[in-house]
Structure 1
Amino acid sequence: MSYPSSNLRNWFDQGGQAYARFRPEYPTELASYLASLAPDRLLAVDVGCGNGQLTRLLAEHFDAVVGFDPSADQIAHTAPQQNVNYACAPAEGLPLLDRSASLITAAQAAHWFDLPRFYAEVHRVAAPSAILALISYGVLRLDGALGERFEQFYWQEIGPYWPAERKLVDSGYATLDFPFAEFPGPDIAIRLEWNLEEFLGYVSTWSAVRSAREAGREDLLHDFAADMAGHWGDPATRHLVSWPINMRIGRV
């Protein structure tokens, strides 16, 4: 079964809802683990929350959760939840009371922050013995020929179009300054089974894809989509896709 060529041409032109639809969800065990570290379950704060992927998982463990993101578009795609509030705010200026947050998280976002100013806010809003967790997920993994073609695309073809901050994500934030009492987290991964549309939809959300299009290199995208379709088999077939979760965790 072949994939219609018109769909391959348009796979990266998903519109504003693609981020909410295709970004991988964090596993519930991540929120459970983070909650187990907090000194109490009163308030969790998710900074750079996007459309609330981690925020809503934390809501299962805390009396109240607040998600902040500087993008009104991201906040507009959050889902209402009884004990969760969302607001537009930068990481460096959180509209929170002093010493109020038991857990502060930043998932796939800290590489965009002005870290010294963000850390100053963390110290201000953190309750005694609060936990700060900077979370990222690593490069997507696929098996076999799919994985080989994806790695070629990621590291060699689309690589030059990533912003410089992306290197921080690829390293699991290992090189970020982290002036807190740090301890290692457990091995946790995101694991999904995706069809071809879901896989290409996820790739379409990358800032590097937008940059490549703006640079007139849509040929890279078309060739990659066609090659992946050829390796995928039936486009409805679901292949295992995984991302290792990296964490910098500290007690404030």
Structure 2
Amino acid sequence: MEPLDRFSGHANLYAQYRIDYPDELYTFILSFTNSQQTAWDCATGNGQVAGALVDRFERVEATDISETQLLLAIKKDNIHYQISQAEQTPFADQTFDLITVAQALHWFDVNAFHAEVRRVSKPGAVIAEWGYGLVQLGAGFDAILLDFYRNRVGPYWDPQRKYIDNAYASLPFPFADVQRANFTARRTWSLERFLNYLRTWSAVRQYILENEEDPVIGLGEELKPLWGDGERDIQFPVFLRVGRVL
């Protein structure tokens, strides 16, 4: 299966406006690891997760199919970036103590990726897969955003978006000692910051490509009287599943 690259064309926006993840998520994942020598962050994008792992592991390998994304990624001495598909990597057998994939599993051939995870994992290594659903703005906002998500740009989502909507419940996870957890990434953003985040959505980029207009502009006009000129607190619901490779 040819890998899908939905983010190279707006990698700069992605690097500026996509969220990172709460410390509690990493603490939870690391509570299962037996060793913290080597980690692989698959589909690293701009290196958000790799940058968080680098202070916890001796060496972090980070891969992505997008050269543009990797050029903009966080640079630290013990992160090594390279272009690679998720399903077939250059790594040696039994290399990693931890493998992570954030907000990207739904783009993969999942069974092939899990086979590669088994090959490159040390015995007892941990695999952690997570993502986040539709941002929550609060009363008076969420109905407007849901209409935008489902109706205005809904037809422009790839079919894989359904896996985010059901928190990967329908994707296989054939590992031992499976644990699931939920977290909340909290941000305080201006309306402009929020709208630029929406412009990183693959459905929004596809809408712009096909219609030669930005649907976020109209949504911003609808939200502005409610949002005002200041910042407001918003929440991203994060779902996680962790397993052990035996």
Match 2:172 to one of 177, 184, 190: 177
Match 2:51 to one of 52, 56, 81: 56
Residue 218 of structure 1: how far off its partner (Å): 3.0
SS at 1:144's partner residue? Answer: coil
Rounded Cα–Cα distance in structure 1 between residues aligned with 2:208 and 2:214 = 9
Partner residue in 1 for 2:4: none
Partner residue in 1 for 2:160: 165
RMSD: 1.6
**8 Å CA contact 2:11, 2:69 repeated in 1:** no
Aligned pairs for 1:21-170 (under 5 A) are: 21-170=16-165
CA 1:132–1:15: 2 relative to 1, 3 Å: closer
Gaps of 5+ in 2: 1-8
Gaps of 5+ in 1: 1-13
SS at 1:20's partner residue? Answer: helix
Rounded Cα–Cα distance in structure 2 between residues aligned with 1:179 and 1:44 = 20
Partner residue in 2 for 1:239: 232
Residue 16 of structure 1: how far off its partner (Å): 4.0
Residue 184 of structure 1: how far off its partner (Å): 2.4
Residue 71 of structure 1: how far off its partner (Å): 0.4
Residue 195 of structure 1: how far off its partner (Å): 0.5
Residue 217 of structure 1: how far off its partner (Å): 7.0
Rounded Cα–Cα distance in structure 2 between residues aligned with 1:120 and 1:225 = 44
Residue 82 of structure 1: how far off its partner (Å): 2.2
Higher relative contact order (CA 8 A, sep 6+): 1
CA 1:230–1:217: 2 relative to 1, 3 Å: farther
The one-letter amino acid of 2:136's match is: R
TM-score, length basis structure 2: 0.91
CA 1:100–1:210: 2 relative to 1, 3 Å: same
Partner residue in 2 for 1:250: 243
- Show CA shifts across 1:51-109 (max 9, x none): 01111111121111111101001101112112211111110112211111000011011
SS at 1:37's partner residue? Answer: coil
Rounded Cα–Cα distance in structure 2 between residues aligned with 1:197 and 1:111 = 28
Paired residues, number: 237
- Show CA shifts across 1:5-34 (max 9, x none): xxxxxxxxx954110000011112222221
The one-letter amino acid of 2:119's match is: R
Rounded Cα–Cα distance in structure 1 between residues aligned with 2:215 and 2:244 = 44
**8 Å CA contact 2:199, 2:216 repeated in 1:** no
CA 1:230–1:28: 2 relative to 1, 3 Å: same
TM-score, length basis structure 1: 0.89
**8 Å CA contact 1:35, 1:58 repeated in 2:** no
The one-letter amino acid of 1:241's match is: I
The one-letter amino acid of 1:191's match is: R
Match 1:225 to one of 220, 227, 245: 220
Rounded Cα–Cα distance in structure 2 between residues aligned with 1:33 and 1:246 = 12
The one-letter amino acid of 1:169's match is: I
